[in-house]
Amino acid sequence: MNDKELLVKAIYFGKSALEWKKKFTGLLPEIHKRELYKQKGCGSIFEFAAKFGGLSNDQVRLALKLEEKFTEMPKLHEALVNGEVSINKLARVVSIATPENDLELSEIVKNMSKSAVETFVRDEKFTGLPGQELSLNEEVRSRLVELQEKGIDINEIISAALNKREEEIAEEKGMPVEETKSRYRSTKIEKLVAKEHGTKCSIPTCKKPSEVIHHTQTFAISHSHNPNYLAPLCKEHHEIAHAINLKVRAKRLKNFW
Ligand SMILES: [Zn+2]
Ligand SMILES: [Zn+2]
């Protein structure tokens, strides 16, 4: 066997093992309920799972707990007992799962990577931006203090500067954008996106660096790099943007885009 064949074989077996392990794990809650492990001479479901599937007690405990939590959520329950989704990924959504979002969450755990699911759940739990310390440099700070000492409203001055910035961006974004077949964006557009969004992911709950400029209107349809429809995103939010169907996304992220 050459190196390539050896690797291909190992990865194939590894992936298959994970698939079968999920299916085995999904059957455990029912075997536990019917006490079928006794028929194989095992004293408990834990002994049965370790002996026939090599599962740790923690994994078994998690599978049983999830099965119970998903009693009222048929789609997530199905994903668990059919072994479609790993218990580790299902455990990520259990804290936000309700009968109302059961269907949506079941699609999400089936279609997204574990890290994207984690990010999605964090966004769902998000209740407000934490208070941030401003990192004013000495010069700006002392100039502001000086103005404040004179009885000048510094908030008004800062507001005016921020408004001016927003107007500039709006004006630049309002300029006509030509259609193009090229995925290459002009430096002008790159600069404008950076001016508006900075260096981080444009989802307000997210502090990660942006890695991709995402087209909120599919490029293949729009043929345009209109900056109104460009959003810098981190890897996870980019995956979420593509995985969630447009209708759900529009509803959920209407405040974000
Ligand atoms: Zn994209
Ligand atoms: Zn992000």
pLDDT per position as a tens digit, 73-119: 999 999 999 999 999 999 999 999 999 999 999 999 999 999 999 99
Alpha carbon 61 to chain centroid distance?
26
Centroid of ligand 1 to alpha carbon of 65 (angstroms): 36
Kindly list the domain boundaries of the chain, sorted by start residue: 3-111, 140-252
Centroid of ligand 2 to alpha carbon of 235 (angstroms): 7
- Residue 35: which pLDDT band, with cuts at 50, 70 and 90? very high
pLDDT per position as a tens digit, 108-143: 999 999 999 999 999 888 877 667 788 889 999 999
Name the DSSP class of 130: P
- Residue 177: which pLDDT band, with cuts at 50, 70 and 90? confident
- What is the rounded distance in angstroms from the CA atom of residue 67 to the CA atom of residue 64? 5
Which ligand minimizes its atom distance to the CA of 233?
2
Write out the residues surrounding ion ligand 1, Cβ under 5 A. Answer: 214
Q: Phi, psi (5° rounding) for residue 232?
A: -70, 130
Centroid of ligand 1 to alpha carbon of 237 (angstroms): 9
Centroid of ligand 2 to alpha carbon of 256 (angstroms): 11
Centroid of ligand 1 to alpha carbon of 212 (angstroms): 7
Maximum distance among all Cα pairs of the chain, rounded to whole angstroms: 87
The reported pLDDT for the residue numbered 158 is 93
- What is the rounded distance in angstroms from the CA atom of residue 106 to the CA atom of residue 52? 28
Which ligand minimizes its atom distance to the CA of 215?
1
Write out the residues surrounding ion ligand 2, Cβ under 5 A. Answer: 201, 203, 206, 208, 234, 237
The reported pLDDT for the residue numbered 221 is 72
Name the DSSP class of 150: T
Centroid of ligand 2 to alpha carbon of 200 (angstroms): 8
Question: pLDDT > 90: what percent of the chain?
Answer: 66
The reported pLDDT for the residue numbered 227 is 83
pLDDT per position as a tens digit, 191-226: 888 999 899 999 888 889 999 999 887 776 777 788
The reported pLDDT for the residue numbered 249 is 52
- Residue 44: which pLDDT band, with cuts at 50, 70 and 90? very high
- Residue 257: which pLDDT band, with cuts at 50, 70 and 90? very low
Centroid of ligand 1 to alpha carbon of 230 (angstroms): 9
